[in-house]
């Protein structure tokens, strides 16, 4: 009697999982259990066929609903501009990512905002593409991190290095790297290589080597090395 | 080509990156829109609501804890917004919508059988389900959400998710039967 009850409960459990099995969202263990039950229970297999039918038509029905108009994105961006949290974030710190975003918006085709592919591509490219524009636009002023104001430093002072970022590094990762190490972008890109300032003072060679070693281990860095003058 | 993960985009949005916001929107807005549209039944209202959903993401990105997928988080916000919007609607309007969802003047069982197109009848029956049943079927089949994720979106225990899905399927089978399509289950 107990065995019959257990079997019935187990079958009910499998029956309940059929929709997730059809959608492919079960764990491997659960999927295996359902597969085994389907192979040995013709009635369950028939039921599973109806589940698959339901799944196909649900997808078809949802796909037939169309997509929102461009108005949704326009409204969102207008709301973001007007939102108090946006003003607070902009006022509290200079955001390299945000700055890049604005630049990309003005330099890219309008379709950029509507194409996930184009936008994703832009994310990958933006570090290399825009860091150069940033440097040229600021006419020699250094990149400011939250803890460091670049234009307070006398030209030529400090410790410098050359760096190239990994192609897959995102603007966010580069921003984080610059902030973590308190680095300043000084020149570039020249063949994909930037000159960065490691410190506002002249660091001992051993200290420089340590910092460069740590930087080289970062996933967003392709290579880093001392400048010719070091 | 490697694309930025949703989680990384949320991190950038938290830092005030508007481009990341646009990328996330481009990636998810159609599915979120369809989910909301199936709940509220009004395209214009659904469009307004998805803007609100993503504005919430902009505001709360720094609070996202990555305990669930970003898409699950989006659908949970969308559901909350849609249900709040429906609650604000006058009662008579709600009644009209419910009636519209139940009535199907053109398709009595005979007509449906004449069509001899199970696919068409099945889609019609899917639209006749209650909002609760429609929602769970959409989440499982179209949005590909696991039991655990549906539980997070809808805010009910996992066992309730399974039971609700079972009864949604059962109801769908009954509607099909009434429309002249016999599938042998339930």
Read off the pLDDT of residues A34-93 as tens digits, 9 standing for 90 and up: 999 999 999 999 999 999 999 999 999 999 999 999 999 999 999 999 887 776 766 554
For B33-75, write each residue's pLDDT tens digit: 999 999 999 999 999 999 999 999 999 999 998 888 999 999 9
pLDDT at B141: 97
Average pLDDT over chain B, rounded to whole?
Answer: 86
Tokens representing A91? 């006022």
Reported as a pLDDT band with limits 50, 70 and 90, residue A139 is very low
Does position B25 have pLDDT exceeding 60, yes or no? yes
**pLDDT of B136:** 97
Of residues A22 and A104, more confidence is placed in: A22
Give the integer Cα–Cα distance in Å for B23 and B35. Answer: 19
**Rounded alpha-carbon distances, angstroms, from residue B6 to A82, B11, B34:** 24, 9, 20
d(CA A183, nearest CA chain B) in Å: 19
> Could you report how far apart the first and last alpha carbons of chain A are, in Å?
84
Beta-strand runs (E) in A23-131? none
Q: Which residue has the higher pLDDT, A50 or A142?
A: A50
Closest CA in chain A for residue B51 = A76
Question: Which of these ranges, A101-105, A156-160, B37-41, B154-158, has the smallest mean pLDDT?
Answer: A101-105
Are A171 and B15 in contact by the 8 Å Cβ rule? The answer is no
Checking if the pLDDT of A224 tops 70, the result is: yes
User: At A2, phi and psi to the nearest 5?
Assistant: -60, -40
**DSSP reduced 3-state for B24:** helix
Q: Is B46 in the A-facing interface, judged by CB distances under 8 Å?
A: yes
Q: Does B182 touch chain A (CB under 8 A)?
A: no
* Distances in whole angstroms, Cα of residue A21 to Cα of each of A27, A28, B119, B138, B163: 9, 10, 21, 15, 15
What pLDDT is attached to residue B149? 96
Give the model's pLDDT for residue A102: 52
φ/ψ of B90, rounded to 5, equals: -60, 150
Q: Which domains does chain B have, with CATH numbers?
A: 1-89 (1.10.1740.10), 104-179 (1.10.10.10)
CA angle B72, A118, A136 (to 5 degrees): 120
Interface check B166 vs A, CB under 8 A: yes
Interface test with B, best of A118, A170, A171 (most B CBs within 10 A): A170
Helix (H, G, I), strand (E, B) or coil at B130: coil
**Phi and psi for A187 in degrees, rounded to 5?**
-140, 160
Beta-carbon separation of A19 and B165 below 8 A: yes
Selecting from B27, B48, B146 the residue whose C-beta is nearest the C-beta of A116 gives: B27
For B2, name the nearest residue in chain A, comparing CA atoms only: A168
> What pLDDT does B114 receive?
52
Residue count of chain A: 230
More confident residue, A132 or B80: B80
Element (H, E) at A199: strand A193-199
Output the CA angle A138-A144-A148, nearest 5 degrees.
140
Q: What value does the mean pLDDT of chain A take?
A: 73
**Per-residue pLDDT at A156:** 55
CA quadruple B25, B66, A123, A111: dihedral, nearest 10? -10
Count CB-CB contacts under 10 A for residue A210: 12
Chain A residues inside the 8 Å CB shell of B11: 172
Strand partners, A185: A196
Q: State which residue of chain B sits closest to A67, comparing Cα positions.
A: B30
- Min CA distance, B100 vs chain A (Å)? 17
The predicted pLDDT at position A122 comes to: 43
How many other β-carbons are positioned within 10 Å of the β-carbon of residue A23?
A: 21
Mention every residue, 6+ apart, whose C-beta is less than 8 A from residue B134: B38, B39, B126, B127, B168
- Indicate the burial class of A135 (C-beta count within 10 angstroms; 0-12, 13-18, 19 or more): buried
Query: Is the minimum CB–CB distance between B126 and chain A shorter than 8 Å?
Result: yes
Residues in chain A within 8 Å Cβ distance of B38: 62, 65
Cβ pair A54:B137 closer than 8 A:
yes
pTM (predicted TM-score)? 0.62
Q: Which tokens belong to B120? A: 């068409």
pLDDT score for A164:
79
Identify from B8, B14, B15 which residue to disrupt to test chain A contact, counting A C-beta atoms within 10 A and taking the largest count.
Answer: B15
């Amino acid at each position: 009697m107990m065995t019959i009850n257990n079997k019935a409960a187990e079958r009910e459990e499998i029956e309940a999982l059929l929709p997730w099995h059809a959608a492919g969202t079960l764990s491997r263990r659960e999927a295996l259990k359902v597969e085994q039950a389907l192979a040995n229970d013709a009635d369950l297999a028939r039921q599973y066929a109806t589940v698959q039918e339901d799944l196909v038509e649900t997808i078809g029905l949802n796909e037939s609903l169309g997509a929102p108009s461009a108005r949704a994105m326009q409204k969102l961006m207008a709301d973001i501009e007007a939102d108090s949290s946006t003003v607070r974030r902009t006022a509290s710190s200079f955001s390299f990512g945000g700055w890049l975003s604005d630049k990309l918006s003005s330099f890219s085709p309008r379709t950029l905002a509507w194409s996930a592919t184009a936008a994703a591509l832009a994310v990958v490219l933006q570090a290399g593409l825009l860091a150069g524009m940033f440097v040229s636009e600021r006419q020699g002023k250094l990149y400011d991190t939250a803890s460091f104001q670049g234009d307070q430093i006398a030209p030529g002072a400090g410790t410098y290095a050359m760096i190239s970022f990994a192609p897959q590094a995102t603007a966010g990762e580069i921003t984080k790297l610059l902030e973590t190490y308190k680095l300043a972008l000084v020149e570039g890109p020249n063949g994909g290589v930037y000159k960065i300032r490691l410190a506002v003072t002249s660091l001992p060679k051993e200290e420089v080597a340590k910092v460069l070693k740590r930087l080289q281990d970062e996933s967003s860095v392709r290579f880093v090395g001392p400048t010719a003058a070091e | 080509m490697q694309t930025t993960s949703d989680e990384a985009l949320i991190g950038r949005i938290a830092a005030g990156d508007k481009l990341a916001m646009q990328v996330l929107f481009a990636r998810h807005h159609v599915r979120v829109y369809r989910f909301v549209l199936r709940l509220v039944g009004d395209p214009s209202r659904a469009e307004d609501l998805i803007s609100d959903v993503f504005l919430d993401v902009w505001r709360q990105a720094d609070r996202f804890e990555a305990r669930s997928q970003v898409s699950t988080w989006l659908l949970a916000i969308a559901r909350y917004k849609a249900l709040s919007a429906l609650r604000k609607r006058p009662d008579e309007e709600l009644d009209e919508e419910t009636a519209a969802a139940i009535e199907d003047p053109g398709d009595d069982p005979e007509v449906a059988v004449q069509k001899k197109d199970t696919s068409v009848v099945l889609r019609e029956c899917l639209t006749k389900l209650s909002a609760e049943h429609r929602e769970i079927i959409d989440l499982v089949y179209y949005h590909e959400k696991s039991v655990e994720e549906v539980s997070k979106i809808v805010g009910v225990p996992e066992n309730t998710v399974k039971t609700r899905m079972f009864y949604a399927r059962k109801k769908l089978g009954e509607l099909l039967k009434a429309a002249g399509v016999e599938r042998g289950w339930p």
